[in-house]
Amino acid sequence: MEKITAGSDASRLLALLSRQGGPGPDSAGGSGEALTDKEWFRLVELARKHRVAAVLYQRLREREVPLPASVSELLRSCFRLGMVFNIQRFHERDRIFRAMEATGITVVPFKGSCLAEAVYGNIALRSMGDIDLWISPSQVDEACRVMRELGYESKSKADRPQALQDALTGETQFFRTNMPLVELHWTIFPGEWLRHTSVISEEILWQRTVPFQGEMVRQLAPEDAVVQLCIHLAVNHQMSEIGLRTMMDLEFARRAWSPDWAGIASRARAWRVSCATWLVLRLFAEVCGDPGKELPLRSLAPSRLRQRILHHFVSPPRMMDGIHLSSGPQRFLYLLLLVDRLRDALVLVGRTFFPDRTWLTLRYGLQGAARPRVFLQRLWHPLRILLYRKI
CB hemisphere CA count around 73 (13 angstroms): 4
β-strands 131-135, 182-185 pairing: parallel
**Over the stretch 205-252, which tens digit does the pLDDT of each residue have?**
999 999 999 999 999 999 999 999 999 999 999 998 899 999 999 999
Does pLDDT of 5 surpass 50? no
pLDDT (0 to 100) of residue 330? 86
Does pLDDT of 2 surpass 90? no
pLDDT (0 to 100) of residue 111? 95
pLDDT (0 to 100) of residue 32? 43
**Over the stretch 162-193, which tens digit does the pLDDT of each residue have?**
777 766 678 889 999 989 999 999 999 998 89
Q: Which is nearest to 204 in space by CA: 279, 263, 120, 116?
A: 263
Residues belonging to the chain: 391
**Over the stretch 71-112, which tens digit does the pLDDT of each residue have?**
999 999 999 999 999 999 999 999 999 999 999 999 999 999
What b/e sequence results for 216-255 when a residue is b if at least 16 CB atoms lie within 10 Å of its CB, and e otherwise?
bbbbbbbbbbbbbbbbbbbbebbbebbbbbbbbbbbbbbe
Backbone phi, then psi, for 361, in 5-degree steps?
Answer: -70, -35
pLDDT (0 to 100) of residue 232? 96
pLDDT > 70 fraction of the chain, expressed in percent and rounded: 91
DSSP annotation of 86: H
Sheet holding 107-109, edge to edge: 107-109, 131-135, 182-185, 171-175, 153-155
Q: Cα torsion for 351, 357, 363, 364, to the nearest 10°? A: 120
Using an 8 Å Cβ cutoff, are 60 and 29 in contact?
Answer: no
**Over the stretch 270-324, which tens digit does the pLDDT of each residue have?**
999 999 999 999 999 999 999 899 999 999 999 999 999 999 999 999 999 988 8
**Over the stretch 359-385, which tens digit does the pLDDT of each residue have?**
889 888 888 889 999 999 999 999 888
Does pLDDT of 23 surpass 60? no
Tell me the C-alpha distance between 110 and 200, whole Å: 17
Q: Which residues pair with 134 in a beta bridge?
A: 108, 185
pLDDT (0 to 100) of residue 388? 78
Helices and strands (H and E) in the chain: how many:
20, 7
Q: Taking residues 334-355, what's their average pLDDT?
A: 93
Residue of 28 and 9 predicted with greater confidence: 9
Tell me the C-alpha distance between 13 and 7, whole Å: 10
DSSP annotation of 35: P
27 pLDDT band (50/70/90 cuts)? low
pLDDT (0 to 100) of residue 241? 86
pLDDT (0 to 100) of residue 19? 67
Tell me the C-alpha distance between 91 and 173, whole Å: 19
Tell me the C-alpha distance between 280 and 167, whole Å: 29
Residue 360, helix vs strand vs coil:
helix
pLDDT (0 to 100) of residue 7? 59
pLDDT (0 to 100) of residue 171? 87
Using an 8 Å Cβ cutoff, are 194 and 202 in contact?
Answer: no
CA R_g for the chain: 22
Backbone phi, then psi, for 22, in 5-degree steps?
Answer: 100, -170
Tell me the C-alpha distance between 374 and 367, whole Å: 9
pLDDT (0 to 100) of residue 24? 47
Tell me the C-alpha distance between 278 and 357, whole Å: 33
Residue 38, helix vs strand vs coil:
helix
**Over the stretch 34-55, which tens digit does the pLDDT of each residue have?**
889 999 999 999 999 999 999 9
Residue 48, helix vs strand vs coil:
helix
Does pLDDT of 327 surpass 50? yes
Tell me the C-alpha distance between 35 and 277, whole Å: 37
Helix 371-388 × helix 342-353 angle, to 10°? 110
Does pLDDT of 347 surpass 50? yes
DSSP-based helix, strand, coil % in the chain, nearest 5: 60, 5, 35
Using an 8 Å Cβ cutoff, are 95 and 70 in contact?
Answer: no
33 pLDDT band (50/70/90 cuts)? low
Mean per-residue pLDDT of the chain: 90
21 pLDDT band (50/70/90 cuts)? very low
pLDDT (0 to 100) of residue 1? 33
